[in-house]
Amino acid sequence: MESPQPHSDFILTFACPDRVGIVAAVATTLAQDGWTITESQQYADPDTRRFFMRVRFAADRDTGLDDVRATLAPALDPFEMDWDLHDATAPLRVVVMVSKQGHVLNSLLFHARQGQLPIEIVAVVSNHPDWRDTVEWHGIEFHQVSVTPDTKRESEQFVLDLMERTGAEALILARYMQILTDQMCRDVHGRAINIHHSLLPSFKGARPYEQAHRHGVKVIGATAHYVTADLDEGPIIEQDFRRVDHRSSASELAAMGQDLEARALVHAVRAHAENRVLLNGMKTVVFD
């Protein structure tokens, strides 16, 4: 039997000041090095005058990330780019944080196990023991880490150390009901995703679905966004919603809302894992 032919598959993402010649420089460099572009999307923001691009390219040869970076750097650096290169075949390693509500965690576990999300959940951290059996059934590390005002930074450092030990590249807050410190937000900037139980900005604080019910809302939803020190105001990645009317009780709204939360976070995690999200100030560019 013949050995499988070597194959390399990478994704280049970048943002830079908008100017003529960016796409041509990228395409020419890749073509000259023998790469075939398999996907390409770009966006020029007329407000910030910044250019965003995602390019996937492949070749029938075994090439490492460092070699490709060395090839691309001379062509990209003159454009003042913030750029990164990703192995398109490697799943994103993530740590998930959860409290007592497990509907979002269960959705992530299911989609990852079914191969419907390009992620590997390497560990789950919780301030409660409720989901230990479920997580360990999946063969995933579970860590219960109690959080008090006096131990908050210690617990956050545990998570950072865990991410370093496991090689996790992202942190997912799957209804984790603790506010991260400003320092933790800085430590995980651009790689921590939270799910919020409404269409932001709306009905902040406790019991959001009862607030929505009292106000007679006609749409409920959920927002997945990057974590920042400004509570629930990070750049939005994904939002999902459903129309409702006066017949919906608060408990029915909550049940529908939990489904929306799970769906929105799964979509946001998929987009992040596939390197389709680029930060644009307080906004995001999310390619299809």
Q: Are strands 277-280 and 283-286 parallel, antiparallel or unpaired?
A: antiparallel
Using pLDDT thresholds of 50, 70 and 90, give the confidence band for residue 4. low
What's residue 248's pLDDT? 86
**pLDDT surpassing 60 at residue 1:** no
**pLDDT surpassing 80 at residue 140:** yes
Omega before 201 cis (within 30°)? yes
Judge whether 171 and 191 are in contact, CB under 8 Å: yes
Distance CA 50, CA 42 (A): 11
**Token pair for 258:** 């939990």
**Token pair for 157:** 């450092």
When the pLDDT of each residue in the chain is averaged and rounded to a whole number, the result is 92
Q: How far is CA 25 from CA 21, 30, 120, 196, 229, in A?
A: 6, 9, 34, 40, 37
What's residue 225's pLDDT? 95
**Token pair for 260:** 């929306």
Distance CA 96, CA 146 (A): 15
Q: From 273, 250, 268, 238, select the one nearest 107 (Cα to Cα).
A: 268
**Token pair for 139:** 């063969």
| Helices (H), ranges, the chain | 22-32, 65-76, 103-113, 132-137, 152-166, 182-187, 208-214, 250-273
Residue 200 CB: number of other CB atoms within 10 A?
Answer: 18
Q: From 114, 8, 121, select the one nearest 62 (Cα to Cα).
A: 8
**pLDDT surpassing 80 at residue 2:** no
Dihedral (Cα; 146, 194, 65, 31), 10-degree rounding: 180
Could you report the per-residue pLDDT of 128-137, keeping only the tens digit for each? Answer: 999 999 999 9
Amino acid found at 38: T
Could you report the per-residue pLDDT of 197-252, keeping only the tens digit for each? Answer: 877 666 666 777 787 777 666 788 899 999 999 877 889 999 999 998 888 898 99
Q: From 225, 235, 228, select the one nearest 261 (Cα to Cα).
A: 225
Using pLDDT thresholds of 50, 70 and 90, give the confidence band for residue 3. low
Residues with catalytic roles: 232
What's residue 245's pLDDT? 86
**pLDDT surpassing 90 at residue 192:** yes
Could you report the per-residue pLDDT of 57-91, keeping only the tens digit for each? Answer: 999 999 999 999 999 999 999 999 999 999 999 99
What's residue 101's pLDDT? 94
Ordered strands of the 82-87 beta sheet: 36-45, 50-59, 8-17, 82-87
